[in-house]
């Protein structure tokens, strides 16, 4: 990087670093061997998250991808399929893990901004066809939706899908990596979302600021089976209570403050829409993620990202013309002000197009 140092790092909310108080909680954690089920801090975290999400039991995993893949594996064995929208993290950003690790195929539908509709899932499911077609084992819903721009899914649509899937004998898995954001944005209880699914994954290392970890939730029987598969996938851990202590601290201190990230993201979206109408629809920005179309201002996404980086703002290109900005607890008001100044200046129509398309 030849320009300024990074002032606003909006690449992802996975960048959050543990605070001194969280580090102290980690240092003081009581620990045991989790492969033998003997880590008391980890057990406490699993029980607490299960209670919050409205599920009977939980299983800590080192990553959200592992939590999702364990959930999918519980419901769809080799030769079965999962169905999800085409932007879903489980099919777009987990490196084909369902196929590579479990022999599960995937089919998708197109959903605007990743918005879930029960009728789309119902139209995709295939059941009761014997040896003639691939049968659907699980429908995956992502809430909030990452590549959709932080979209919060409708509880009514989820409930409608639950009725349809239950009747068809198809499971539902919730990729709830940012379910905390959906809860804070809508006021819907976490358990009201969680109870509608057979399994749920939630992430502690994004907006909540823990350095590592997700939790998979479901029935006690399902979590016992998932524990076996976690070991097979290489996810068995020893004194992981050090990590669990960070998660417990995050639950105590960092859920409600997500509203600050949402407010900063919305403020930036309004400013970007003013600078380049059509680049962002501010009313669609309800959580901590903004996805902007920079093409109308003459940019390709990679060139826009490079230009912003030269001015101290790190972004992520999610398509040829789309740029993602993600707010988190390490981006305060001052950093947001700087980011807004940079991106609106780059988007402003009066700026020369020279250099934007690489010509």
CATH number at residue 264: 3.90.1150.10
Shared domain for 265 and 165, answered yes or no, is: no
CATH number for 164: 3.40.640.10
What span, in angstroms and rounded, lies between the C-alpha atoms of 171 and 163?
11
Shared domain for 50 and 100, answered yes or no, is: yes
Rg of the chain taking only CA atoms, in angstroms: 21
H/E segment holding residue 292: strand 289-293
Helix (H, G, I), strand (E, B) or coil at 290: strand
Tokens of 251: 């639950």
Shared domain for 340 and 197, answered yes or no, is: no
According to the model, what pLDDT value does residue 2 have?
Answer: 46
What's the whole-model pTM score?
A: 0.94
| Torsions phi, psi for 337 (to 5 deg) | -55, -45
According to the model, what pLDDT value does residue 301 have?
Answer: 97
55 is a domain residue: yes
Query: Residue 141 pairs with which residues in a beta bridge?
Result: 174
**In the chain, how many H helices and how many E strands?**
14, 12
Pick the closest to residue 121 from 169, 70, 160 (CA basis).
160
Domain, as residue range, for 310: 8-15+257-347
Q: Quote the distance between the C-alpha of residue 7 and its chain's center.
A: 24
56-85 pLDDT, tens digit each: 999 999 999 999 999 999 999 999 999 999
According to the model, what pLDDT value does residue 349 have?
Answer: 67
pLDDT at 355 exceeding the cut of 80: no
- Do 179 and 150 contact (CB within 8 A), yes or no? no
Shared domain for 240 and 280, answered yes or no, is: no
pLDDT category at 354 given cuts 50, 70, 90 is very low
Shared domain for 170 and 75, answered yes or no, is: yes
Shared domain for 178 and 301, answered yes or no, is: no
According to the model, what pLDDT value does residue 321 have?
Answer: 97
What span, in angstroms and rounded, lies between the C-alpha atoms of 39 and 245?
11
Shared domain for 244 and 328, answered yes or no, is: no
First to last CA, the chain: 21
221-246 pLDDT, tens digit each: 999 999 999 999 999 999 999 999 99
Choose one of 221, 253, 285: the last residue of a domain: 253
Q: Domain count of the chain? A: 2
106-159 pLDDT, tens digit each: 999 999 999 999 999 999 999 999 888 999 999 999 999 999 999 999 999 999
Shared domain for 159 and 308, answered yes or no, is: no
25 is a domain residue: no
Query: Residue 201 pairs with which residues in a beta bridge?
Result: 175, 216
Shared domain for 248 and 101, answered yes or no, is: yes
Choose one of 253, 277, 296: the last residue of a domain: 253
SS (H, E, C) 199-224: EEEEECCCCCCCCCCEEEEECHHHHH
Burial 54-72 (b: 16+ CB within 10 A, else e): bbebbbbbbbbbbbbbbbb
Judged on CB neighbours under 10 Å (0-12, 13-18, 19+), 38 is middle
Instruction: Report the relative pairing of strands 316-317 and 322-326 from DSSP bridges.
Output: antiparallel
110 is a domain residue: yes
Shared domain for 192 and 225, answered yes or no, is: yes
SS (H, E, C) 104-121: CEEEEECCHHHCCCHHHH
216 is a domain residue: yes
Rounded to 10°, the helix 241-253/40-53 angle is: 40
353 is a domain residue: no
358 is a domain residue: no
What span, in angstroms and rounded, lies between the C-alpha atoms of 327 and 340?
12
H/E segment holding residue 343: helix 333-347
Shared domain for 70 and 215, answered yes or no, is: yes
Shared domain for 165 and 127, answered yes or no, is: yes
**What is the per-residue DSSP string for 231-246?**
HHTT---SSTHHHHHH
What span, in angstroms and rounded, lies between the C-alpha atoms of 121 and 161?
7
Choose one of 253, 287, 316: the last residue of a domain: 253
What span, in angstroms and rounded, lies between the C-alpha atoms of 97 and 79?
14
């Amino acid at each position: 990087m030849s320009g300024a140092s990074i002032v606003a790092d909006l690449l992802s909310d996975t960048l959050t670093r543990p605070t001194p108080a969280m580090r102290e909680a980690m240092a003081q954690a009581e620990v045991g061997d989790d492969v033998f089920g003997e880590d008391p801090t980890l057990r406490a975290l699993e029980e607490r998250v299960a209670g919050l999400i409205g599920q009977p039991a939980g299983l800590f995993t080192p990553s959200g991808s592992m939590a999702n893949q364990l959930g999918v594996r519980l419901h769809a064995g080799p030769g079965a399929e999962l169905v999800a929208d085409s932007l879903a993290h489980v099919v777009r950003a987990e490196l084909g893990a369902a196929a590579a690790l479990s022999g599960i195929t995937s089919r998708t539908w197109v959903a605007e901004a990743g918005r879930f509709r029960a009728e789309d899932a119902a139209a995709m499911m295939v059941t009761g066809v014997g040896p003639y077609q691939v049968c659907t084992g699980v429908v995956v819903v992502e809430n909030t939706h990452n590549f959709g721009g932080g979209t919060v899914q409708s509880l009514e649509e989820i409930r409608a899908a639950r009725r349809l899937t239950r009747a068809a004998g198809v499971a539902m898995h919730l990729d709830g990596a940012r379910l905390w954001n959906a809860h804070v944005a809508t006021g819907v209880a976490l358990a009201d979302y969680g109870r509608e699914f057979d399994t749920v994954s939630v992430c502690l290392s994004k907006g909540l600021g823990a350095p590592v970890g997700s939790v998979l939730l479901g029935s006690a029987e399902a979590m016992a089976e998932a524990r076996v598969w976690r070991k097979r996938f290489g996810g068995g851990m020893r004194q992981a209570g050090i990590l669990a202590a960070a998660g417990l601290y995050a639950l105590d201190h960092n859920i409600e403050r997500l509203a600050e990230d949402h407010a900063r993201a919305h403020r930036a979206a309004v400013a970007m829409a003013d600078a380049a109408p059509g680049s962002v629809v501010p009313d669609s920005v309800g959580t901590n993620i903004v996805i902007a179309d920079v093409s109308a201002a003459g940019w390709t996404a990679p060139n826009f990202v490079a230009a912003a980086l030269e001015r101290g703002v790190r972004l992520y290109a999610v398509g040829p013309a789309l740029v993602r900005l993600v707010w988190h607890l390490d981006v305060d008001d001052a950093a947001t002000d700087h980011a807004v100044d940079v991106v609106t200046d780059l988007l402003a129509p009066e700026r020369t197009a020279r250099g934007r398309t690489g010509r």
